[in-house]
A = this chain, B = another copy of it.
Amino acid sequence: MSMLGWTTYATIYAIFQRYGSEAKHMSTFSQSLHRYFEAHEDEHLKELIEFLRIPSISTLEEHHKDINAACSWLINKLTIAGLENVQAIETDGYPFVYADWLHAPGKPTVLIYGHYDVQPVDPIELWESPPFSPVVQDDKIYARGATDDKGQVFLHIKAIEALLALTGELPINIKCCIEGEEEVGSFGLTKWLENNQELLAADFIVISDTPLMQQGIPAICYAVRGLCALQIDVQGPQMDLHSGGYGGAVSNPIHALAKIIQSFHDESGKIAIDGFYDDVLHIDVEERNQFSTVAPPDEYLMNQLGVPHLYGEPGYTAIERTWIRPAIDTNGIYGGFSGEGTKTIIPSSAHAKVSIRLVPDQKPKQVFEQLEAHIQLHAMPGVIVTTTRVDEGLPYVASLDHVAVQAAHYAYQEAYQVEPVYIRMGGSIPIVSTFSEQLNAPIILMGFGLPDEQAHAPNEHFHLDNFRKGLLTLALFFTQLAQ
């Protein structure tokens, strides 16, 4: 999942003023769905807690068995829900879980995509309750994966189950693809798709892995940034050296790494990699002006994040810098002594994890080449610098001119009693561009998380108000698609 990163109380009032008076009362069908979900809430929460207890961290090899446990759990629940052909499908990486219900001839087919893998939990010491012992508190459920993405995958399963329970059938044809490698780049599924488009073929694809604009304001996301991620390894002396004995005589790998990282930006905050901005698409002023209607004021963001200033590429607002401009970040750095106290060494090596967010029309392959050349250009004498590509994904922009977008708009409005907003997203869902290319179907990004639900961070949680409204939204969305 990739968070929007933007919430604002200012916006919520503005939008309520605009749409609050137009809020319709719920339809009879909505009300019967609502009653069904209310009656089953305790049971649903118990099941979600089971799912969240499984530490299915895809980036850590030691959790392989938990990946399998999450697959088995899903197979069981999808079968109970009433779906058919439920199975784990092997890929070169971790398997994805497939299920379908294809008994609505003449109606559209929707592919539901989600992921059962989760992010690592470190820094573990900052969690207020253990990440895999879910806790419900203040109408929120706390656990790794609560909002990203197990909680949202769960909504789809239970919305389908509800429709089948209440009506004995589904209004449309449904396929599910719940994968186990989203947090590490979806490599297995991506490769599998190259030769297997037919099984997942659909009229459109729905993904619930994005957040609402903010509590109470649903959002339909029409663009995501792409990704290039790599590891930098700087090798200096073949062993750690005493910094007294050798300090001054040899290159320090940490200094060499700092020089590389520092060279990513120029003094103004612009990315200083040669040719980097060449393919960045110009966004017209009309669209940029739209952003300001949903963007929070800087003061709000600074306060939310606890930073003394925002900072980035000049000439763009903070929301523009995350929505329509590329960015480079170092996600982690390590080398030498990091324990308590001091250890006066020149470390043998130093390492960093770097990722770039791409915007249309940047291509991962080309940006990788630019970045790798830049890194070697800034390597100090006396060290050997190597880079390893670890993840990539194309940026994606959707057309808003589609019946599925209208159905999503209707469903959100009915469930939340307020019109959804249309937004871009700073994050990346690598599978989005893969689906777009391989399945040639429009993608609807309609999520139920909140931007401050700590996806990828300690104390991840999912608001139960959106759990309830999400179930209703999805059941209404599937129903509306049949109209």
Contact surface of A with B, Cβ cutoff 8 Å: 2-6, 58-61, 119-120, 122-123, 183-185, 224-225, 227, 229, 236-252, 254-255, 257-262, 264-265, 301, 305-313, 318-319, 321-322, 325-347, 350-353, 355, 357, 380-384, 390-391, 425-428, 451, 454-458
- Cα(A306)–Cα(B351), bound, Å: 18
Q: Are B311 and A382 in contact (CB under 8 A)?
A: yes
Q: Are B122 and A312 in contact (CB under 8 A)?
A: no
- A429–chain B nearest beta-carbon distance, Å: 9
- Determine which residue in A58, A330, A352, A455 has the highest number of CB atoms from chain B within 10 A of its CB, and name it: A330
- Cα(A312)–Cα(B243), bound, Å: 13
This chain: copies in complex: 2
- A358–chain B nearest beta-carbon distance, Å: 11
The 13 listed contacts between A and B (C-beta, < 8 Å) are A3-B244, A5-B245, A61-B340, A244-B425, A247-B322, A248-B313, A248-B321, A250-B305, A254-B261, A258-B260, A309-B382, A331-B346, A344-B355
B-chain residues with CB within 8 Å of residue A322 when the two chains form the complex: 244-249
- Cα(A454)–Cα(B334), bound, Å: 22
Known: A264-B255, A332-B335, A343-B331. A305 touches B238 (CB 8 A): yes
Nearest B residue to A238, CB-CB: B306
- A221–chain B nearest beta-carbon distance, Å: 12
Q: Are B339 and A239 in contact (CB under 8 A)?
A: no
Q: Are A334 and B331 in contact (CB under 8 A)?
A: no
Nearest B residue to A245, CB-CB: B5
Q: Are A258 and B247 in contact (CB under 8 A)?
A: no
Q: Are A119 and B343 in contact (CB under 8 A)?
A: yes
Q: Are A242 and B184 in contact (CB under 8 A)?
A: no
Q: Are A342 and B184 in contact (CB under 8 A)?
A: yes
Q: Are B310 and A382 in contact (CB under 8 A)?
A: yes
B-chain residues with CB within 8 Å of residue A328 when the two chains form the complex: 247
- Cα(A53)–Cα(B321), bound, Å: 57
Q: Are B4 and A428 in contact (CB under 8 A)?
A: no
Nearest B residue to A455, CB-CB: B242
Q: Are B312 and A248 in contact (CB under 8 A)?
A: yes
- Cα(A261)–Cα(B254), bound, Å: 8
Known: A248-B357, A261-B258. A241 touches B457 (CB 8 A): yes
Contact partner, A391, options B185, B335, B342, B357, Cβ 8 Å: B342
B-chain residues with CB within 8 Å of residue A455 when the two chains form the complex: 242
B-chain residues with CB within 8 Å of residue A332 when the two chains form the complex: 254, 335-338, 343, 345, 347
B-chain residues with CB within 8 Å of residue A383 when the two chains form the complex: 307-308
Contact partner, A380, options B311, B321, B327, Cβ 8 Å: B311
Contact partner, A247, options B185, B244, B329, Cβ 8 Å: B329
Given A241-B305, A255-B265, 13 further pairs, Cβ under 8 A: A6-B245, A59-B343, A120-B343, A122-B339, A245-B426, A246-B426, A248-B313, A248-B327, A249-B321, A258-B258, A332-B336, A342-B355, A345-B457
B-chain residues with CB within 8 Å of residue A123 when the two chains form the complex: 240
Q: Are A327 and B251 in contact (CB under 8 A)?
A: no
Nearest B residue to A346, CB-CB: B329
Known: A333-B336, A352-B254. A184 touches B341 (CB 8 A): yes
B-chain residues with CB within 8 Å of residue A227 when the two chains form the complex: 244, 344
B-chain residues with CB within 8 Å of residue A184 when the two chains form the complex: 341-342
Nearest B residue to A123, CB-CB: B240
B-chain residues with CB within 8 Å of residue A384 when the two chains form the complex: 308
The 4 lowest CB-CB distance pairs between A and B, nearest first, are A244-B427, A5-B245, A59-B341, A248-B327
